[in-house]
Amino acid sequence: MLLVVDVGNSHTVAGLFSGDELLHDWRISTIRRTTVDELAASH
């Protein structure tokens, strides 16, 4: 398994791979006022 993460100015994108197969992906908007609790509840 491989977890890849791309952290940009407006989004953070992550993908979970098994070999060449993408198993799951996540896209999170960067909002400076978001708390850790709010982020956890939204995903």
Q: Domain segments of the chain: what residues? A: 2-42
pLDDT, tens digit (0-9, with 9 covering 90-100), for 11-41: 899 999 999 999 999 998 887 788 888 878 8
Tokens describing residue 30: 């960067």
**Order of strands, edge to edge, in the sheet holding 2-7?**
2-7, 11-18, 21-29
Q: What is the pLDDT of residue 28?
A: 85
Tokens describing residue 20: 């060449």
Q: What is the pLDDT of residue 37?
A: 86
Q: What is the pLDDT of residue 14?
A: 96
Q: Which residue has the higher pLDDT, 36 or 7?
A: 7
Q: What is the pTM of this model?
A: 0.67
